[in-house]
């Protein structure tokens, strides 16, 4: 049995992950309008991954016979007024999501909900990777982004990213 508090946090995380997908779609749209299709591709794939995360929480609750309640998805609230602002907003958002995952983990730990902790282990690792990716992108932009040729190359690199389904299967 999942505790009421853990259940509430897991259910809320479905919404948070769909919001993440929505936020990254907004980022992708920003770069598409800028003519930077590679950056747009990178964030479009990021959005697909977030949708996958949402579905993992959704499926986990269903598998545990816990009710799923879907709520309204908030409007993307980041102000996107420069390329670097978008990249920084991405990092801040991932740090926020890491905190959310840690909060659910803490709640599960407190009630010795080992199954939920094991489920969340994948997300703990995933958040480490998400923060690394967001940081790396900022570093590359700082190094190469101010030069048109550098920006062109970086755009090419990000355009090569392909979607792959999450390694966690429920
Ligand atoms: Mg996520």
Q: Could you list the pLDDT tens digit for every one of the 170 residues in the chain? A: 789 999 999 999 999 999 999 999 999 999 999 999 999 999 999 999 999 999 999 999 999 999 999 999 999 989 999 999 999 999 999 999 999 999 999 999 999 999 999 999 999 999 999 999 999 999 999 999 999 999 999 999 999 999 999 999 99
From ligand 1's centre to the CA of 17, what distance in Å?
Answer: 5
DSSP the chain: ---HHHHHHHHHHHHHHHHHHHHHHHHHHHHHHHT-HHHHHHHHHHHHHHHHHHHHHHHHHHHTT------PPPPP-----SHHHHHHHHHHHHHHHHHHHHHHHHHHHHTT-HHHHHHHHHHHHHHHHHHHHHHHHHHHHHHHTTSHHHHHHHHHHHHT------S---
What domains does the chain contain, in order, with CATH numbers? 4-159 (1.20.1260.10)
From ligand 1's centre to the CA of 67, what distance in Å?
Answer: 21
The model carries a pTM of 0.96
What local confidence, expressed as pLDDT, does residue 1 receive? 76
From ligand 1's centre to the CA of 16, what distance in Å?
Answer: 8
What local confidence, expressed as pLDDT, does residue 22 receive? 98
From ligand 1's centre to the CA of 77, what distance in Å?
Answer: 17
- What is d(CA 43, CA 60) in angstroms, rounded to the nearest whole number? 26
């Amino acid at each position: 049995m999942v505790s009421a508090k853990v259940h509430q946090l897991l259910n809320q995380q479905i919404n948070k992950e769909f919001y993440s997908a929505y936020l990254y779609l907004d980022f992708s749209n920003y770069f598409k309008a800028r003519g930077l299709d590679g950056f747009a591709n990178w964030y479009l794939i990021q959005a697909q991954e977030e949708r996958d995360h949402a579905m993992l929480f959704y499926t986990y609750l269903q598998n545990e016979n816990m009710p799923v309640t879907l709520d309204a998805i908030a409007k993307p609230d980041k102000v996107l007024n420069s390329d670097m602002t978008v990249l920084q907003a991405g990092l801040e958002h991932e740090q926020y999501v890491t905190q959310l995952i840690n909060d659910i983990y803490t709640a599960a730990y407190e009630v010795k909900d080992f199954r939920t902790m094991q489920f969340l282990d994948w997300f703990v690792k995933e958040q480490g990777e998400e923060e690394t990716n967001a940081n790396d992108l900022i570093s590359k932009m700082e190094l190469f982004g101010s030069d048109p040729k550098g920006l062109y190359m970086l755009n090419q690199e990000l355009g090569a990213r392909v979607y792959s389904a999450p390694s966690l299967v429920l």
